[in-house]
Amino acid sequence: MPKNGKILVTGGRGKTGSRIAKRLTDLGYAVRTAYRGTSAPGSTNEHVTFDWFDETTFEPALKNVDKIYLVGPLAVMDPSKIMVSFLEKALRVGVRRVVLLSSASVPEEGPVFGNVHKAIRQLVPEWAVLRPSYFMQNFTEGHHGAQINGDGVMITATGSGQVGFVDADDIAEVGVRALIDEQPHNTDHVITGPQSLSYAEAGEIIGAIAGRTIKHVNISTEELAAGMVKLGMTEDYAYFLAGLDEAIRLHGTEDQVTSTVERVTGRPPRSLNDFAIAHASYWKQK
């Protein structure tokens, strides 16, 4: 696909958006990042302040854009109304391709982004939906990293359920290909790492490399949700997230390994072992 219009990257400071923006820039594409707040320090991309709940920010974000990487608002149970309104505006001003970040746990018409997935398939000429499993970066940039470094534990309601943990760099590379490949993907991509692991097994891998003991602590779905509410999350969204853990424990919803990364990018996905080696210093006890 020619490098004509700009590529808008919403959620441009997030785990995938920041990586996608950098990779596209390195490849020579014109990128505009969009998120609340000012541009990240050192960024060379064009940036606009963007707020899903302020429609006056939509038009500046969409100016001269023909492709979008779409990351919805956080912790909103049904963002479809506002996101579909944005999509309709985008299509009216000439956007042709949209790549949505969703989740392996959320199918089309499922909760949260499921209705947005459906709308993109129905409305957008060229599209893809990224449905990654749980990010390996949750062990470093996320709350599990803080738990590991604080108490040497990871707290979930997943029991012995397994997850195809995936590196955000691999998710981003699939997203980049979905944005720039000449042939539109026009599908959803379930994206995993090369193996499915329980949190206890993940802790053993990380602990062996970091030289410390890391234990998985399993709690009830209700306890997990209550903890999230205590931290300020709305009750409905907290129970949705805790319910994902419960589904892993009871139904194995994340116990899968797909060929997506290698098929789309031409290289195999990174293993948790290799990820842990690269980030060992993060977990070293001071």
pLDDT tens digit sequence for 112-155: 999 999 999 999 999 999 999 999 999 998 889 999 999 999 99
pLDDT at 3: 56
Nearest of 265, 15, 222, 255 to residue 139 by alpha carbon? 15
Question: 226-233: long-range contacts at Cβ-Cβ below 8 A with a sequence spacing of 24 or more?
Answer: 227/155, 233/75
Whether the pLDDT of residue 286 is over 70: the answer is no
Query: What string of DSSP letters covers the chain?
Result: --S-SEEEEESTTSTTHHHHHHHHHHTT--EEEEESSSPPTT--SEEEE--TT-GGGHHHHHTTEEEEEE---TT-S--HHHHHHHHHHHHHTT--EEEEE--TT--TTSSTTHHHHHHHHHH-SEEEEEEE--BGGGGTTSHHHHHHHHHSEEEES-TT-EE--B-HHHHHHHHHHHHH-SS---EEEEE--SS-EEHHHHHHHHHHHHTS--EEEE--HHHHHHHHHHTT--HHHHHHHHHHHHHHHHH-TT----SHHHHHHSSPPPPHHHHHHHTHHHH---
> 228-275, pLDDT tens digit by residue?
999 999 999 999 999 999 999 999 999 999 999 999 999 999 999 999
CATH match for 133-167+192-255+271-286 among 3.50.50.60, 3.40.640.10, 3.90.25.10, 3.40.50.300: 3.90.25.10
> How much is the average pLDDT of 97-117?
97
* Domain 6-132, architecture per CATH: 3-Layer(aba) Sandwich (3.40)
Domains 6-132 and 133-167+192-255+271-286 share a fold: no
In this structure, are residues 172 and 16 in contact, taking their beta carbons and an 8 Å threshold? yes
> 215-229, pLDDT tens digit by residue?
999 999 999 999 999
pLDDT at 1: 42
CA distances from 197 to 44, 74, 87 (A): 38, 26, 37
Whether the pLDDT of residue 87 is over 70: the answer is yes
**Cα 165 versus chain centre, distance:** 12
Would the pTM of this model clear 0.75, i.e. be above it?
Answer: yes
> How much is the average pLDDT of 51-75?
97
> 24-53, pLDDT tens digit by residue?
999 999 999 999 987 767 777 899 999 999
pLDDT at 4: 63
> How much is the average pLDDT of 92-104?
98
In this structure, are residues 244 and 225 in contact, taking their beta carbons and an 8 Å threshold? no
Q: How does the average pLDDT of the chain come out, rounded?
A: 95
Quickly state the pLDDT bin for 2 (edges 50, 70, 90). very low
Where along the chain do its domains lie? 6-132, 133-167+192-255+271-286
Tell me the residue type at 68: I
> 152-206, pLDDT tens digit by residue?
999 999 999 999 999 999 999 999 999 999 999 999 999 999 999 999 999 999 9
> How much is the average pLDDT of 59-86?
97
Tell me the residue type at 72: G
